[in-house]
């Protein structure tokens, strides 16, 4: 699995918890983070480099643990490779069904917010609800720096969320895998009457289904290992990833083939 950085760990945690027998290889493309301000061409190039490397490691499936990379690059990736590719898409459909006020907000990166595949997903699943798309420039960078509990992070979130609160939303979708790490700050700002939705569980379920369908599920817990790579290794990042993943992370350098 991979992400532009540490955000995909929110998905990795859930996969590791529910599929503990599976070996995990996690790539944080931190040298190129954030993806949210990159062009589609740049993102597709990074996605293909990482996927080729993962396939070289003989993985049996790839989880694109990044909403931005999913909307921009997953279709062409599925055409290039034959193993199961599982993407991360914001929970628009369940959010629209859940909302009583029929007003739902989506927090996403800038690249996701303007992506046509994403916009047509919104259209397809909004089910009559009004959808407020809020790009959050700068937020991924703060989380990457380990500032996910800082005053700075609170302030930037407040700026993004305040206008949404005035729109009478009752459901908020986290459309970037970094954002679950600021979920408690978000909940503090929006209050308990707003439901926050994320996608780690549905992605894990989808991965489990695909592995099961193809007879690829692992079944020997004592052998399972987790390996972590980054395109910009630092002690600070290893420390942060250990905290966010919830166990000690040894970080190795990722070098594309
Ligand atoms: N975690 C990525 C996502 O889900 C972050 C994108 C970025 O690096 O801007 O979109």
Give the residue extent of every domain in the chain. 2-88+200-253, 92-197
Categorize the per-residue pLDDT at 80 as very low, low, confident or very high, splitting at 50, 70 and 90. Answer: very high
Q: Is the peptide bond before 119 cis (omega within 30 degrees of 0)?
A: no
Same fold, 2-88+200-253 and 92-197: yes
pLDDT tens-digit profile of 93-103? 999 999 999 99
Categorize the per-residue pLDDT at 223 as very low, low, confident or very high, splitting at 50, 70 and 90. Answer: confident
In the reported structure, the alpha carbon of residue 128 is separated from the centroid of ligand 1 by a whole-number distance in angstroms of 27
pLDDT over 70 for what percent of the chain?
99
Q: Is the pLDDT of residue 81 over 70?
A: yes
Q: How far apart are CA 105 and CA 109, in angstroms?
A: 13
Is the beta carbon of 177 within 6 A of some atom in ligand 1? Answer: yes
Class of domain 92-197: alpha beta
Residue 62: CB atoms within 10 A of its CB come to 25
Is the domain spanning 2-88+200-253 CATH 3.40.50.150? The answer is no
Active site residues: 66, 176
Kindly state the average pLDDT of the residues 39-61.
97
The number of angstroms, rounded, from the C-alpha of 74 to the middle of its chain's C-alpha atoms is 13
Closest to 221 in 3D by CA, of 19, 62, 24? 19
Is the beta carbon of 33 within 6 A of some atom in ligand 1? Answer: yes
Q: Whose CA is nearest to atom 2 of ligand 1?
A: 66
The pairing of beta strand 251-253 with beta strand 226-230? parallel
Q: How far apart are CA 95 and CA 33, in angstroms?
A: 28
Using a 10 angstrom Cβ sphere, with 0-12 exposed, 13-18 middle and 19 or more buried, the burial of residue 257 is exposed
Mutating to test ligand 1, I would choose from 11, 28, 68 the residue with most ligand atoms within 8 A of its C-beta, which is 68
């Amino acid at each position: 699995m991979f992400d532009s950085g540490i955000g995909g760990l929110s998905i990795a945690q859930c996969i590791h918890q529910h599929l503990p027998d599976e070996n995990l290889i996690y790539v944080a493309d931190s040298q190129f983070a954030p993806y949210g301000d990159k062009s589609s061409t740049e993102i597709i190039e990074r996605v293909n480099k990482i996927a080729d490397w993962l396939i070289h490691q003989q993985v049996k499936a790839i989880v694109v643990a990044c909403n931005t990379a999913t909307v921009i690059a997953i279709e062409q990736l599925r055409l290039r490779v034959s193993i199961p590719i599982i993407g991360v898409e914001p929970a628009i459909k369940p959010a629209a069904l859940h909302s009583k006020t029929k007003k739902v907000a989506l927090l996403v990166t800038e690249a996701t917010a303007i992506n046509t595949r994403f916009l047509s997903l919104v259209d397809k699943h909004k089910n009559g609800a009004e959808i407020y798309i809020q790009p959050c420039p700068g937020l991924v960078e703060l989380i990457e720096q380990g500032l996910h509990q800082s005053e700075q992070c609170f302030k930037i979130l407040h700026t993004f969320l305040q206008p949404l609160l005035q729109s009478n939303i009752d459901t908020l979708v986290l459309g970037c895998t970094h954002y679950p790490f600021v979920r408690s700050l978000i909940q503090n700002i929006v209050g308990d009457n707003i439901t926050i939705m994320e996608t780690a569980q549905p992605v894990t379920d989808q991965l489990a289904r695909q592995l099961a369908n193809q007879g690829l599920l692992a079944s020997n817990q004592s052998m399972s290992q987790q390996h972590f790579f980054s395109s910009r290794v630092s002690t600070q990042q290893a420390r942060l990833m250990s905290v966010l993943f919830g166990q000690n992370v040894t970080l190795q350098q990722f070098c594309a083939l």
